[in-house]
């Protein structure tokens, strides 16, 4: 038994070493992939612009880095990047596609998960999803990876990017991606997949949304900001979000940064927005701490036009037919558990099939990972497993 265990452990370590080596070998020339060719944005949403094999993938899988077309909240064309990962063994027919929405990693192009050293590491439940035969696609969102407008917490843009990623995956014959779709996201990605579900019938009617799952979703932006107006989380999220909103809604009367942020807050935005959350958290906090309590000039949840924009980019305005799974960590100090529970009740009140799963001891960072066993059981029952 011990010999078998040691052999298995050795095999796993060897597989991980191969994956990491593959990641390292692809670093050279990576910038070239993210450079957009002439006319990249011309064409139908979801059209694949280019792809390349992704060497650093989990054991018994294959993957691709992709660049594809999508649209933003205004309907304008954008170019987006991401990754596709599928089981190595061929499928008997089209694979159900899991479209993953990643949590906040930053808003700068360099913060795109697909361009990171390990592009698939933060796709929660990836190994288990691949073991069940799913194809998995993960968008970076517009403005990350490759040039494009900022999309941070812009629900319609993120939702379109999530749906068009599925279309792009289907353009890779070896992926065997079908039209049955599961949407799965965490935090910012929870908001993204909720918007994708709400928009799918109009935006991508050829896709069938079988199930939607979100872990600690940023569903109610007003509630999220209200909980953090006077702390470092509010400064960090606000630096990303208000910059994005000011850019994306620049034509909306009253949408100027001085109308909502203090001069001290505006001064730190260039430095804050150049940094990625996961790799520069300490530096972000060092820059942001001095303006805690002096970040906004008024409450954005009650000050127009900001309050209206927060509402516009909050999920829940449109019910959808697919069953909805919501996981929430009971120790989450970023997305407040009571706010997520209230959102679940709101969706249920709209006649939706909602499964709400509180995860004991889980915080914001761990909730998606710890929710995976419950999620898989739920998918087996609701999406064919």
Model confidence pLDDT, tens digit, residues 265-285? 999 999 999 999 989 999 999
pTM over 0.85: yes
Which candidate, 123, 105, 116, 102, places its Cα nearest to that of 24? 116
Under a CB-based contact definition with an 8 Å cutoff, are residues 78 and 43 in contact? Answer: no
Give the CA angle between residues 82, 188, 144 to the nearest 5°.
35
CA distance 100 to 214: 10
The CATH number given to whatever domain includes residue 158 is: 3.40.50.1820
The pLDDT confidence band at residue 174, using thresholds 50, 70 and 90, is very high
Under a CB-based contact definition with an 8 Å cutoff, are residues 335 and 216 in contact? Answer: yes
Question: Does 17 score more than 80 pLDDT?
Answer: no
Please give the mean pLDDT across all residues of the chain. 93
Q: Please name every residue paired with 99 in a beta bridge, in sequence order, or none if there are none.
A: 137, 183
The pLDDT confidence band at residue 26, using thresholds 50, 70 and 90, is low
Model confidence pLDDT, tens digit, residues 43-62? 999 999 999 999 989 999 99
The pLDDT of residue 56 is: 86
**CB-count exposure of residue 149 (10 Å: 0-12, 13-18, 19+):** middle
Residue 76's domain spans which residues? 2-220+314-382
Are 234 and 338 found together in one domain?
no
The domain boundary, picked from 277, 295, 312, lies at: 312
Are 213 and 242 found together in one domain?
no
Are 201 and 253 found together in one domain?
no
**CB-count exposure of residue 283 (10 Å: 0-12, 13-18, 19+):** middle
Q: Where are the alpha helices (DSSP H) in 179-323?
A: 188-203, 221-226, 232-248, 263-273, 281-288, 306-312
């Amino acid at each position: 038994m011990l010999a078998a265990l040691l052999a298995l452990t050795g095999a796993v370590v060897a597989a991980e070493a191969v994956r990491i080596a593959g990641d390292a070998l692809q670093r050279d020339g990576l910038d070239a992939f993210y450079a957009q060719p002439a006319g990249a944005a011309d064409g139908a949403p979801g059209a694949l612009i280019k792809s390349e094999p992704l060497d650093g993938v989990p054991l018994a899988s294959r993957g691709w880095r992709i660049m594809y077309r999508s649209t933003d909240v205004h309907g304008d064309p954008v170019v987006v990047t991401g990754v596709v990962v599928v089981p190595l063994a061929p499928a008997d027919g089209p694979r159900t596609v899991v479209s993953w929405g990643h949590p906040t990693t930053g808003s700068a192009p360099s913060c795109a998960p697909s361009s990171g050293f390990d592009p698939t590491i933060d796709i929660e439940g990836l190994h288990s999803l691949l073991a069940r035969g799913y194809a998995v696609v993960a968008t970076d969102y517009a403005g990350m990876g490759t040039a494009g407008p900022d999309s941070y917490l812009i629900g319609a843009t993120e939702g379109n990017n999530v749906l068009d990623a599925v279309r792009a995956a289907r353009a890779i014959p070896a992926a065997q991606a079908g039209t049955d779709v599961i949407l799965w996201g965490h935090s910012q990605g929870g908001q993204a997949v909720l918007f994708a579900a709400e928009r799918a019938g109009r935006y991508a009617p050829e896709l069938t949304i079988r199930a939607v799952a979100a872990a600690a979703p940023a569903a109610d932006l007003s509630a999220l900001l209200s909980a953090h107006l006077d702390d470092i989380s509010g400064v960090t999220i606000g630096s990303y979000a208000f910059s994005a909103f000011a850019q994306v809604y620049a034509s909306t009367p009253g949408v100027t940064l001085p109308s909502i942020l203090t001069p001290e807050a505006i001064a730190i935005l260039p430095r804050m927005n150049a940094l990625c959350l996961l790799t520069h958290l300490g530096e972000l906090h060092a820059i942001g701490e001095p303006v805690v309590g002096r970040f906004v000039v008024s409450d954005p949840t009650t000050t127009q036009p900001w309050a209206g924009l927060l509402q516009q980019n909050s999920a829940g305005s449109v019910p959808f037919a697919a069953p909805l799974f919501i996981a929430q960590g009971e120790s989450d100090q970023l997305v407040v558990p009571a706010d997520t529970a209230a959102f679940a009740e709101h969706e249920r009140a709209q006649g939706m099939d909602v499964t709400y799963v509180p995860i004991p001891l889980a915080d914001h960072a761990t909730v998606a990972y710890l929710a995976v066993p419950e999620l898989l059981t739920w998918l087996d029952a609701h999406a064919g497993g």
